[in-house]
Amino acid sequence: MNRRNLLKLLSISALISSAVGIGYPTVASAAEPKVMVTVVKEAGVPWFNILNQGLEEGGKRFNLKTSMTGPAKADPAQQVKLIEDLIAKKVDVIGLVPLDTKVTAQVVKRARDAGIMVITQEGPNQEGKTWDVELMSAQAYGETQMKALAREMGEQGDYVVLVGTLTTTGHNQWADAAIAYQKANYPKMKMAADRFPGADFIDESERVTQDILKAHPNVTGIMSMGSNGPIGAGNVLKKRNLAGKIALVGTTIPSQAKAHIMAGVIREGFLWSPKEAGLAMTSVARLALDGAKFESGMDVPGLGKATIDSVNNVVMVDRILAINKKTIDDLIKLGL
């Protein structure tokens, strides 16, 4: 076969294959799993490695070809670039765990305009998304934490709240809900001072806790929304033999908090499972791809009954994990 014939053959086969593509699009897509790529906050960190396990499990279960990507350092501008690449690659679904919903608003809109579905997690305020899926409402999460703190404090006394920063949306929404619940239900409890930033880092939590103990000596309860807060505060309480006197609860990562939980320094911790978050994203993606009707009380496969906020396009399932002496070992085995 000479070169000209080869070229002819190639172009014919190209024509045929493209004609097949145009002629039978539905057949092709029913056989091929849809492609879903999820952009997380930061690639390579343990939290999102576990989230990826959930994506993979969901991929098998719901016939999706899943993969995960993310910036090397938590940077919203990098997320925008990654999403732009995915638009160019014409994936079917983009999963997104947004760092800053305002920064990603434009590019999410471009993805939608290109006919790509966008499923977010930890992004109920993300403009333009198809659906956001949350494993707990800010309200329920804050209230659960406050109930635990009130129980440990005997429903009375002064307490303080630590958050990552004063502008971390999630942390502050949870804190709002917790504080509102205290005001409505525990009149003998009192927040000693406005919430403190620092709970994103252990050393800052230690410093803030030390200063709180001096400035507000009547405090008998500490609640932290950021997961490094209970570790830092716990280090201080342990060192000063105050664990019996001051109740400490908050968002915690089981393997990190094990020593403090077992020693009773952290009375109870709370979290949601990143693996379930990944699974939930794929489950909701499949429901949306199949054109399911989203309404409260519906079943999200793998996760149970959901509450739907159809104004903000948020799917909510109730999967708060309580971390205490009884549950911690099983959660650590899960890889958390």
**Tokens read off for 191:** 């927040």
Q: Which residue type sits at 242?
A: L
Environment class of residue 252 by beta-carbon count within 10 Å: exposed (0-12), middle (13-18) or buried (19+)? buried
Interface pattern 214-233 for another protein (x via CB under 8 A): xxx--------------xx-
* By CB under 8 A, residue 283 contacts another protein: no
- Residue 42 or residue 155: which is nearer to another protein going by CB? 42
Give CA angle at 202 (180, 218), nearest 5°.
Answer: 50
Select the span of 124-132, 197-205, 264-272, 290-298 touching another protein (CB under 8 A). Answer: 197-205
- Residue 31 or residue 72: which is nearer to another protein going by CB? 72
User: Under rule CB under 8 A, how many of the chain's residues touch another protein?
Assistant: 36
Shortest CB 272 distance to another protein, Å: 19
DSSP string, 12-23: HHHHHHHHHHHH
Comparing CA positions, the residue from 290, 248, 324, 329 lying closest to residue 29 is 290
Shortest CB 189 distance to another protein, Å: 18
Phi, psi (rounded to 5 degrees) for 320: -70, 130
Select the span of 20-28, 150-158, 207-215, 277-285 touching another protein (CB under 8 A). Answer: 207-215
* By CB under 8 A, residue 53 contacts another protein: no
Scanning residues 231 to 260, which ones bind another protein (CB under 8 A)?
Answer: 231-232, 235, 239-242, 255-256, 258-259
Coil, helix or strand at residue 266: coil
User: Can you tell me the distance from the alpha carbon of 99 to that of 167, in angstroms, rounded to the nearest whole number?
Assistant: 12
The one among 9, 12, 27, 45 contacting another protein by CB under 8 A: 45
Scanning residues 23 to 42, which ones bind another protein (CB under 8 A)?
Answer: 42
Shortest CB 48 distance to another protein, Å: 9
Q: Give the helix/strand (H/E) hosting 331.
A: helix 328-333
* By CB under 8 A, residue 196 contacts another protein: yes
Residue pair 62/282 in contact by the 8 Å Cβ criterion: yes
Shortest CB 196 distance to another protein, Å: 5
**Tokens read off for 150:** 């009130």
- Beta strands 314-317 and 304-309, pairing class: antiparallel
The one among 122, 134, 143, 206 contacting another protein by CB under 8 A: 206
Q: Give the helix/strand (H/E) hosting 39.
A: strand 34-39
The one among 6, 166, 262, 292 contacting another protein by CB under 8 A: 166
User: Can you tell me the distance from the alpha carbon of 48 to that of 69, in angstroms, rounded to the nearest whole number?
Assistant: 10
User: Which residues of the shown chain bind another protein in the complex (CB under 8 A)?
Assistant: 42, 44-46, 49, 72-73, 166, 193-197, 201-203, 206-208, 210-212, 214-216, 231-232, 235, 239-242, 255-256, 258-259
